Amino acid sequence: MPANSELFAQLLNTELQHAEHLHQLLQQELQALQQQQLEPLANLQQPKSAALQTLQQHASQRLDWMTDQQLPHSSACLQRPEFAAHPDLAGLWQQLAAVYENNQRLSELLAELVLTARKRTLEQLNILRGKQNDPQLYNANGGTSGLNKGSGYTCA
């Protein structure tokens, strides 16, 4: 394998390893959220941030190298004659793309779960404070024209 092909394969492989590590952390976060375990969820935040930062650094390094080699930042780069002869590069590229797609889907699912939990928590707090499901409509004076707020179970 020519030097450029070896370096490209090394860059793809390193980035793939970091992307897979991030995927594992995202899966752990999903399990903790689904089981409503706050302590493991809190413990995952720092490693997840570090893994994301490391992945970003390696992706930037690969993209910078590709730019220096005047390669497109897409799978079209694999059409270059020195890379086309090495099917392992195409396999690494496809694996990396698949892991990125899986991470994106998992991140979207996590965001949806967090937003749903946040909404549920706010609704419960509003019930404890005695606030009804008020649509927060505005009156002619610009103030909210809500329903009777009540005294609630807690004093705010």
Residue 36 confidence (pLDDT) above 80: yes
Kindly list the structural domains of the chain, giving each domain's residue range(s) and its CATH number in brackets, ordered by start.
3-128 (1.20.58.300)
pLDDT in tens, 65-98: 999 999 999 999 988 888 888 889 999 999 999 9
Q: Could you report the per-residue pLDDT of 8-32, keeping only the tens digit for each?
A: 999 999 999 999 999 999 999 999 9
Alpha-carbon dihedral 99, 103, 109, 111, rounded to 10 degrees? -170
Q: What pLDDT was estimated at residue 124?
A: 82
99-110 per-position pLDDT tens digit: 999 999 999 999
Secondary structure class of 131 (helix, strand, coil) = coil
Greater model confidence, 16 or 36? 16
Q: Would the pLDDT of 49 be above 90?
A: yes
Q: What is the pTM of this model?
A: 0.76
Note the pLDDT tens digit of each residue in 60-73: 999 999 999 999 99
Encoded tokens for 85 = 């002869």
C-beta neighbour count of 37 within 10 angstroms: 12
